[in-house]
Amino acid sequence: MGLDIGTTGCKASSFSEEGALLATAYREYATNHPEPGTYELDPLRVWEAVQRVIAEAASAVSRSSVTALSISSLGEAVVPVDRKGNVLGSAILYMDQRGREQALMLERSIGKQRTMEITGVPLHPMFSLPKIMWIRQHQPELYEQVWKFMLFGDFIAYLLTGNCATDYTLASRTMALNLSRRQWDEDMLKAAGVESDMLPRLIPPGGPIGQVRSAVARGLGLLPGTLVVAGGHDQACAALGAGILSPHQAVDSIGTVECITPAFPSPVLGPAMLEQQYNCAPHVVDGLYLTYAFNFTGGSLLRWFRDQFGHSAEAAAAASGLSVYDYLSSVAAPAPTELLVIPHFAGSGTPYMDPEAKGVLYGLTLHTGMGELYRALMEGVTFEMRYNLDCLREAGIPVHSLRAVGGGAKSDLWLQIKADIMNVPIERLNVSEAGTIGNMMLAGKAAGIYRSYEEAAQTLVRSVRAFEPQQPHQSLYDERYGQYMKLSKTIQSMQKTP
């Protein structure tokens, strides 16, 4: 069984050894906003949802079928837990404004370059360490009661097994892991004023955390003793689930947010990584490393268009028996548009990381139609991701091929646009939920079902269609990309001007 814990919901999926999906369950939960600029997640509400999805996914198979489960989760947010296992407060999410002053304190004591060299992540208030420092400063009574600060994957595994451990990929999201030594870093923790024993024990991804306790197992429909295996950060597990096991490959996860995750054989920590605000993290596969290039608008930009302007399309789609997105793709412009879309409708991701960035639609006329605009939105998101690939190549991480997963990977139109704009081949895989497949691989190898991740990938993951760059569109998009970058840089300079 694979369990994925996200910011807004969790999913459990049970699979056969051959990779057939037997059952899946999903539950949403709300984030809390106690004050402007604050974002929190209630750990007990997450645990309640996790219990429901595990029980639902387990009920669809025989009770003895689930031999092992592995967990992937969001990073950064930590749950404060006391020695009796009680939750002391909500987890502060990555987008929360708290931690900015504390990040500046770390910058003064450690420095940006040294933080990158030690941890593989750019110094930023989004990570766990500045949030823990904020709790110590502003909630001292809570802080004094803390036994462990656990990331969400650790927290759920602890409730299942009674054992507290975290894997290297999740630990890298704290900004406290020494990337080369795979240990909590004494210099980072000393500068933060945090004791290392307040953090979980470190283990490799795929390592056993423990067995599901009898009392918990009964309520979930699992056998007592079911093995719980360390998973990892959600993007790292998705890379494994897409079969990213070699350098120069990358998974393109096209969901609400689009994230390209390439693999490379040794740490890349040069100045370009810091300047472009890319991280360097362990892969769940030993001997490989990952980075995350992302844009906050992927599928969310198409959903925005559907919600704001797609009412007639929804009616037409219903009449023709198509989904609204399939219908919009069918009426989209057949060739590259002359519109330019800067897709920063929710701020910008890498390499800018500017929460104040704004989106732009350029080139509109009275003749602009729905189909042209819909294609232009796909083009804009893809131009932004091409820029990320260019930045990664300059940093020493070239990407030669992409494997597409997520909801956006269902669109032939979008995948062809991607191949043409980014000038790399892109494959659609037989798996759409790569994260839970990655968890299944981790659990299966730990349980002895697979001898290696390579064997698991050969069994579970295959390409169902490949999209190659095509002329004349590829050459047209090269010209448009130059225009896109000129417009993007102009907009960036305008937004920085007071």
Which residue intervals of 221-270 are DSSP H helices? 234-241
Burial of 36 (0-12, 13-18, 19+ CB in 10 A): exposed
- Torsion angle, alpha carbons of 77, 80, 81, 86, to 10: -100
User: Residue 112, Cβ neighbours under 10 Å: how many?
Assistant: 15
Q: What is the pLDDT of residue 59?
A: 86
Which whole-number Å values give the CA distances from 250 to 67, 253, 393, 425, in the listed order? 30, 9, 13, 11
Radius of gyration of the chain (CA): 22
Q: What is the pLDDT of residue 498?
A: 58
DSSP structure string for 36-73 = TT--EE-HHHHHHHHHHHHHHHHHTS-TT---EEEEEE
Q: What type of residue sits at position 320?
A: S
Q: What is the pLDDT of residue 256?
A: 81
Tokens standing for 142?
Answer: 């809570």
Per-residue pLDDT 10s for the chain (498 aa) are 999 998 889 999 988 888 788 899 999 998 898 888 889 999 999 999 999 999 999 988 876 678 999 999 999 999 999 999 999 999 999 888 899 999 999 999 999 999 999 999 999 999 999 999 999 999 999 999 999 999 999 999 999 999 999 999 999 999 999 999 999 999 999 999 999 999 999 999 999 999 999 999 989 999 999 999 999 999 999 999 999 999 999 999 998 889 999 999 999 999 999 999 999 999 999 999 999 999 988 888 998 999 898 888 899 999 999 999 999 999 999 999 999 999 998 889 899 988 788 999 999 999 999 999 999 999 999 999 999 999 999 999 999 999 999 889 999 999 999 999 999 999 999 887 788 899 999 999 999 999 999 999 998 999 999 999 999 999 999 999 999 999 999 998 887 765
Contacts of 217 (CB under 8 A, 6+ apart): 223, 224, 225, 226
183 and 171 in contact (C-beta within 8 Å)? no
User: Residue 412, Cβ neighbours under 10 Å: how many?
Assistant: 13
CATH number assigned to the domain with residue range 293-427+468-496, chosen from the 4 options 3.40.470.10, 3.40.1160.10, 3.30.420.40, 3.60.15.10: 3.30.420.40
Q: What is the pLDDT of residue 278?
A: 95
Architecture of domain 2-242: 2-Layer Sandwich (3.30)
Q: What type of residue sits at position 494?
A: M
**What is the chain's percent helix, strand, coil content, to nearest 5?**
45, 20, 35
CA distance 158 to 382: 40
DSSP SS3 for 467: strand
Q: What is the pLDDT of residue 373?
A: 96
402 and 421 in contact (C-beta within 8 Å)? no
Q: Model pTM?
A: 0.90
For the chain, report the end-to-end CA distance as a whole number of angstroms: 52
Tokens standing for 233?
Answer: 């950060």
CA distance 359 to 361: 7
Q: What is the pLDDT of residue 68?
A: 93
Domains 2-242 and 293-427+468-496 share a fold: yes
Q: What is the pLDDT of residue 435?
A: 86
Task: Please name the residue that has the structure tokens 């504390």.
Answer: 102
286 and 294 in contact (C-beta within 8 Å)? no
Domain ranges of the chain: 2-242, 293-427+468-496
Going by the DSSP 8-state scheme, the letter that residue 200 receives in this structure is P
